Every structure is written in structure tokens, then in C-alpha cells.
Amino acid sequence: MTPCLIRVYLHKKRTSPRPVTARPPSPRTVSGWILSHPEALTEPEQLQLKTVRTQCPELDALTRHVRSFATMLTDRRGQQLSVWLDAVRQDDLPSLHTLAAGIDRDIDRDIDAVTAGLTLPWNSGAVEGHVNRIKMLKRQMYGRAGFGLLRKRVLLA
């Protein structure tokens, strides 16, 4: 090909109209939208999520289940757990089936404790925070000193 023909060929290629399509959102972005409170999303994000949900029925079902579970947790409606678990089992979502099976195992052990944990305002967050702090101090001191120094650091920290 002569240089003149190459220029004409490239010019045609560069000026040929290509359909402009928007890039689909990444899975991480869609996950963030699903896990966010619907009112916290901007209008374009809500529209994009609505588009994704209409194109994929599995994501629509997942979004409904995740949001109903979040409502159950934040509004402390632990008595609705069995209804939520039944609704999850009705859909073909293997990852949620695994979650439901794990919750069922805990419920079989002590349904009253699970319901109370989802219903009552009290939790063990403060205790867990102290345990986490003590473990951090222990990790920092690993191999450096004995129990006496670790005890002093825990008591003084």
C-alpha cells in the first residue's frame, strides 16, 4: 500500500461512527449500591441500579432480600427472621441459601438468643472492643517480655 492509500484508509477508520455505549458498572460498584441505604444513593446511581435490577432478576431478588434483612436489623424486628429465611429459600440464590443454613444452625441451638440479639437494643460491642484491644497489645508484645509486663500494659492502657 502506498502512503496515500494508508492515509485514506486510516482517515476512514478514524472517522467512522462508532456507537457510544456506557460502560457497565463494576461488580464492586453494584455491590455498594445494593448494600447502601436507598436514600443515600444519588439519582443517577438509583437509575443505574434500577437498570441493572431489571436486566438481572437474580440481582433484583438479592437486592430485595439484602434490603429486607437490613431493615430487620436496623429496626430490630428479630421476630421476622423465620419469614425472611423462608423468602430466601424460595429464590434460587445459592449464596443466600448458605447464609440461611448458617443462621438455621444457630437458631436450632437457641432460637430465643438469636431473636433477642436481633430485637433487643443491648449488645456486647464494648466487651468485644476491649478484647480486640487486649489482643492487639498481646500481638505487639509477642516474644518481647513475660506475662508481668503484658499485664501491666493491659491494666495501664
- Taking only the tens place, the pLDDT of each residue in 105-122 is 877 777 788 888 889 888
Start-to-end CA distance of the chain, whole Å, equals 79
The reply to whether 53 and 110 lie within a common domain is yes
CB 96 within 8 A of CB 88: yes
The reply to whether 39 and 105 lie within a common domain is yes
**CA proximity to 65, closest of 41, 95, 110:** 95
Tens of pLDDT along 79-96? 998 899 999 999 989 989
The reply to whether 130 and 79 lie within a common domain is no
For the chain, the maximum distance between any two Cα atoms, rounded to a whole number of angstroms, is: 86
The reply to whether 79 and 114 lie within a common domain is yes
CB 25 within 8 A of CB 52: yes
Confidence category of residue 39, pLDDT binned at 50, 70, 90: very high
Structural domain count of the chain: 2
Query: b vs e for 66-99, b when ≥16 Cβ sit within 10 Å of the residue's Cβ?
Result: eebbeebeeeebbebbeebbebbeebebeebeee
Q: What is the mean pLDDT of residues 10-33?
A: 76
* Integer CA distances (angstroms), 4 to 1, 15, 134, in order: 8, 17, 76
Asked if the structure places residue 81 within a domain, the reply is yes
Asked if the structure places residue 76 within a domain, the reply is yes
pTM for the model stands at 0.68
Helix axes 57-74 and 81-90, enclosed angle (nearest 10): 170
Chain centroid to CA 69: how far? Answer: 12
Q: Which domain holds residue 50?
A: 28-119
The reply to whether 64 and 78 lie within a common domain is yes
81, amino acid identity: L
CB 88 within 8 A of CB 100: yes
pLDDT at 41: 94
